[in-house]
Amino acid sequence: MTDAPLAAWDRVKLARHPDRPHVLDYIRDLTRDFVELHGDRTFGDDRALIGGIATFNGRTVIVLGHQKGSDTKENIARNFGMARPEGYRKAERLMRHAEKFGFPVLSFIDTPGAEPGIGSEERGQATAIAESLLTMAGLAVPTIALVIGEGGSGGALAIGVADRILMLENSIYAVASPEACAAILWKDASKAAEAAQTMRITANELQAFGLVDEVIPEPAPAHESPRGTIKAAGEVIARHLNDLLAQYPPGDPAAADRLIASRYERFRNIGAWTAV
């Protein structure tokens, strides 16, 4: 359950590798007919959290994902994958859209966290995330979330309240960045590697805690073998999606109720406590 010393920090570096494939790469390789759908219908369009409609495995799906850039210029345009309230409101809008038409939702998580900023606070960053959580918790269609790089805190979870939670082997998922954790609890951001270790943020550890359904191996790190990683991820997603669709056939209201109840139980049972 515990990786070798410093393994966690090595994973952090891999998860953040600039050449690691991003959500648009997954969409390009795994789907057909993709049409990107923009905007929150209220204020703007967030290029750090993208969404759209596509064919995956012969079926129409709604795709969501944090999009980082591969170079500085794109990273600035994508705000380093840190979504603003508009991103979460767009995601929430597209989830309701998916429910309306009975389309499953596939979400690809890859963000350092939601943007901390003056404008984001003014426009309700916390509320936007909370409302996305609420909608996703009660969504009447199957949902699958795959962490492809960094799963950073509430900004990641906002599109992660899913029926299946999958992680790539070299991705991480954490309550806070190791740097932030180190700055707060060690008073020293340079202790990030230690923090990463004790926080249990690697895919294998999180699977051992029962928080992740399946870890997709990376025989070579995703940035060295992008096509192979994406293909393997696509096969795992397809298997889970077929399984969910078989258990909860679209268009059957009773199945939708069972799906929501099962998602509730999943999250309801998360936690470590004792009753004395």
Partner 1 sequence: MPAMREFLGRRGKFRPQPPADSREAPHIPDDLWTKCPSCGDLIYTKELDRTNRVCPKCHHHFRLRARQRIESLTDPDSFVEWDVDVRPQDPLDFVDGSGGYADKLAQTAKRTGENESLVTGEALIEGRPVALAVADFDFLGASMGSVFGEKLVRAIERAAERRIPVLTVSASGGARMHEGLLSLMQMAKTVAALNRLGHAGVPHIALLTDPCYGGVTASYATVADIIIAEPKALIGFAGPRVIEQITKQKLPEGFQTAEFLLDHGMIDAIVPRDVLRETLGRLFVLYSKAVPRSGART
The residues that touch partner 1, with contacts defined as CB under 8 A, are 113-114, 116-118, 120-127, 129-131, 133-134, 137-138, 153-154, 157, 160-161, 173-176, 180-181, 183-188, 191, 195, 198-201, 206, 209, 211, 257, 260, 263-264, 267-268, 270-276
CB-wise, 4 or 35, nearer to partner 1?
A: 4
From the list 262, 265, 250, 257, the residue with the least C-alpha distance to 104 is 250
Q: How many CB atoms are located within 10 Å of the residue 44 CB?
A: 17
CB-wise, 167 or 241, nearer to partner 1?
A: 167
Q: How many CB atoms are located within 10 Å of the residue 137 CB?
A: 14
Q: What is the DSSP letter of 116?
A: P
CA dist 184 to 152, 180, 194, 238, Å?
Answer: 16, 6, 13, 40
Contact 106, 146 (CB under 8 A): yes
From the list 114, 197, 123, the residue with the least C-alpha distance to 158 is 114
Q: How far is the CB of 226 from partner 1 (least distance, A)?
A: 26
Q: How far is the CB of 68 from partner 1 (least distance, A)?
A: 17
d(CA 159, CA 145): 7
Q: How far is the CB of 14 from partner 1 (least distance, A)?
A: 18
CB-wise, 73 or 187, nearer to partner 1?
A: 187
d(CA 109, CA 97): 20
From the list 204, 153, 208, the residue with the least C-alpha distance to 179 is 153
Sign of CA dihedral 79, 81, 83, 88: positive
Q: What is the DSSP string of 77-109?
A: HTGGG---HHHHHHHHHHHHHHHHHT--EEEEE
User: For 235, phi and psi rounded to 5 degrees?
Assistant: -65, -40
Q: How far is the CB of 189 from partner 1 (least distance, A)?
A: 11
Q: How far is the CB of 19 from partner 1 (least distance, A)?
A: 25
From the list 62, 31, 30, 69, the residue with the least C-alpha distance to 48 is 69
CB-wise, 71 or 274, nearer to partner 1?
A: 274
CB-wise, 181 or 237, nearer to partner 1?
A: 181
CB-wise, 106 or 201, nearer to partner 1?
A: 201
Q: How far is the CB of 269 from partner 1 (least distance, A)?
A: 9
CB-wise, 1 or 246, nearer to partner 1?
A: 1
Q: How far is the CB of 156 from partner 1 (least distance, A)?
A: 8
CB-wise, 34 or 80, nearer to partner 1?
A: 80
Q: How far is the CB of 165 from partner 1 (least distance, A)?
A: 10
